[in-house]
Each structure stands twice: as structure tokens, then as C-alpha cells.
């Protein structure tokens, strides 16, 4: 049964590949024919004007050929644009599938670690989860870079659960748990000891100020296509004073869970449990085109939601180890 399913999948892939090859051939063939036809029509128009022989017939015939050529070209461009969008969507879909698999495998491994009590102290456990999340960020960065054609970086900021875990927004600090492109886990661990004040960063401050239940019309993430231009018009705070050298486009997506009050809490309102942010940035401004932005945002929302499940378990177990519940 599995063999039959694989054969059918291979058959579908082959058909799609053939269709793509045929379409590419048609596209270039029409482009060449249009070019020749347009040149012939222009020559015909010039000749008809100069010689004045059968001017009306040649004129209308040439004009007709040009119009048909233009219409065919427009059709090819539109069709090609749709194909390009589908190709881009396929790249995101493939990447999403790969990231889901990685997070699923990491979560399964985490459950085994917790059950077996593999780690007795917070530090080795934090190194373990940092390595895992670094792999996730590398994969996400690679996927976004391939889909956009430009280098894109990814990182995760969480509230400072290593120390006191302060959740007061006026005092809260964030740590960079993991980032893409960081090959040495010990270097990444060292960044944990350089917390970032929440109130010194416009994007993180905005995210953590969202406490009410989900509102469809409200933007629940932070996105700017050109930070330099944005900072000239709006107050923009960034604890990294050299941010202009690092990125221009940024997307900050909350890693959170909406907690609904129980039936006993009649007056309580739903609130988000926000444990951090998924941060995407690139030096390329206007990286995500308007027509594709909605898709990209939903893609990142999905990843952030899944990351909450994994990271929340990690933080809870880290707290468990901090309390010294496990005996050596």
C-alpha cells in the first residue's frame, strides 16, 4: 500500500515537472514570436508610410499584429507571475513542513529528557535546549532566505527565565535564547548573560503590551519594511545602537498562548501568556512584498504558536531544576 502511494506521488511529481517544462517552452516561444511579429509590424508600418502603397491594409494589419502581441505578452507575464507566486508559496510550504518535523522531534526528545531526568542542573539543560533552538533558527533562516532570495536571519528572545524571571513590563528584561548563524553553542550561552531591557526596544515593548483577548482588527505583531525611514517619522527605540548596520526589514512575532478564564472567574478577561518573540530581520528593505505579506505573516504565526508549546515546557522544566527538586 505504501509502495503504491509512493508511486502515485512520483507520478504526480513527474506530471507537474512536465507541465512546468512545457509552460517554460511556451513562454519563451511566445516571447520570441512576439518580438519577431512586433519588429515585422513596425517595419511594415514604416514601409506603408514611406511608399504609401496599400497603406490602410498594411497599417491595420501591422497594428493588429502589435495589439495581439501585446495581449499575448500581458497574458504570459500574468501567468508567469502566478507561477512565480506558486513557486514561492511552495518554498514556504516545504520549509514549514521541515520546521514542523524538527520541532516535533525536539519535543519528543525533550519529553524523554524530562522523563529520564537526564539533567540535574539548569545550566547543562539550558545548553541542551539552546542547541536545539539554534537548529530551528538555522532552518527557519535558510527557508526564508531561499524563499525571498535574500539573506534573512532569525532569532528567539524570551523573558529572562535564567535569573528572577521578572514579568513586570517596566522591569522586564529579555535574553537572546538562540539565533541563526551562530555555530558555537558556548558563544550563544554567553549572550544569555547580556539581558535586553524591554522598555528600551519599541518592537518588544509593543508585543508585551498586548494583553487583551484576540481582536481581529488589531495588529498583533510588529513589522517594518524600512526601519531607517520608520525611525525618522516615529520614535523607535533599540538597545542595539548599531542596528542600522545589521538590518532594515524586521518582523517580530509574539510567542504566546491565549489563556481563557475559568467559569468561576466571571469578571476576568482572556490574557496572553507571552514568553518571548520570534524575530526575523534582513538588510534588504521591503523584503516581503505587499501581495505576499499576509502569507508570510500567517506562516510565522504558525511557527511561533508551535514554538510556544516547546519553549514553555523547556522553561517549566528549567524552573524545576532551578528549585533543586532533583536530588543528585
Predicted TM-score of the model (pTM): 0.72
In tens digits, what is the pLDDT along the chain, a chain of 328 residues? 444 445 555 665 566 667 666 666 666 666 566 556 555 555 555 555 555 555 555 555 555 555 555 555 555 555 545 455 556 667 777 778 888 889 999 999 999 999 999 999 999 999 999 999 999 999 999 999 988 888 999 999 998 888 766 677 778 899 999 999 988 999 999 999 999 998 899 999 888 887 655 565 567 889 888 898 988 888 889 888 888 888 889 999 999 888 776 666 665 666 788 899 999 999 998 887 666 677 788 889 989 999 999 999 999 999 999 887 554 4
Closest by CA position to 154, among listed 190, 184, 130, 182: 182
In contact, 225 and 249? CB cutoff 8 Å: yes
| Cα–Cα nearest to 302, from 140, 147, 181, 130 | 140
Rounded Cα distance, 51 and 208, in Å: 76
Please tell me the distance from the alpha carbon of residue 220 to that of residue 205, in angstroms, as a whole number.
12
Amino acid at each position: 500500500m505504501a509502495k503504491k502511494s509512493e508511486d502515485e506521488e512520483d507520478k504526480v511529481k513527474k506530471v507537474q515537472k512536465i507541465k512546468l517544462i512545457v509552460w517554460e517552452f511556451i513562454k519563451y516561444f511566445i516571447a520570441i514570436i512576439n518580438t519577431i511579429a512586433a519588429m515585422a509590424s513596425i517595419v511594415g508600418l514604416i514601409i506603408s508610410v514611406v511608399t504609401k502603397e496599400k497603406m490602410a491594409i498594411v497599417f491595420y494589419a501591422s497594428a493588429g499584429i502589435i495589439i495581439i502581441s501585446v495581449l499575448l505578452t500581458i497574458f504570459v507575464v500574468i501567468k508567469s507571475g502566478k507561477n512565480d507566486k506558486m513557486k514561492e508559496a511552495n518554498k514556504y510550504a516545504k520549509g514549514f513542513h521541515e520546521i514542523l518535523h524538527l520541532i516535533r522531534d525536539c519535543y519528543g526528545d525533550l519529553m524523554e529528557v524530562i522523563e529520564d531526568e537526564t539533567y540535574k542542573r539548569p545550566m547543562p539543560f539550558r545548553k541542551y535546549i539552546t542547541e536545539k533552538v539554534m537548529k530551528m533558527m538555522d532552518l527557519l533562516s535558510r527557508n526564508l532566505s531561499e524563499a525571498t532570495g535574500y539573506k534573512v536571519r532569525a532569532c528567539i528572545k524570551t523573558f529572562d527565565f535564567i535569573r528572577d524571571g521578572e514579568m513586570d513590563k517596566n522591569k522586564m528584561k529579555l535574553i537572546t535564547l538562540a539565533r541563526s548563524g551562530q555555530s558555537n553553542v558556548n558563544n550563544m550561552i554567553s549572550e544569555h548573560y547580556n539581558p535586553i531591557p524591554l522598555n528600551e526596544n519599541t518592537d518588544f515593548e509593543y508585543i508585551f503590551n498586548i494583553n487583551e483577548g484576540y481582536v481581529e482588527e488589531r495588529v498583533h505583531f510588529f513589522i517594518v519594511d524600512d526601519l531607517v525611514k520608520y525611525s525618522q517619522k516615529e520614535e523607535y527605540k533599540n538597545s542595539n545602537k548599531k542596528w542600522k548596520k545589521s538590518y532594515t526589514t524586521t518582523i517580530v512575532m509574539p510567542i504566546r498562548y491565549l489563556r481563557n478564564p475559568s467559569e468561576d472567574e466571571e469578571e476576568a478577561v482572556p490574557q496572553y501568556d507571552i514568553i518571548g518573540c520570534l524575530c526575523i530581520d534582513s538588510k534588504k528593505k521591503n523584503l516581503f512584498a505587499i501581495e505576499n505579506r499576509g502569507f508570510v505573516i500567517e506562516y510565522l504565526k504558525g511557527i511561533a504558536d508551535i514554538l510556544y508549546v516547546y519553549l514553555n515546557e523547556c522553561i517549566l522544566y528549567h524552573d524545576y531544576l532551578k528549585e533543586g527538586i532533583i536530588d543528585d
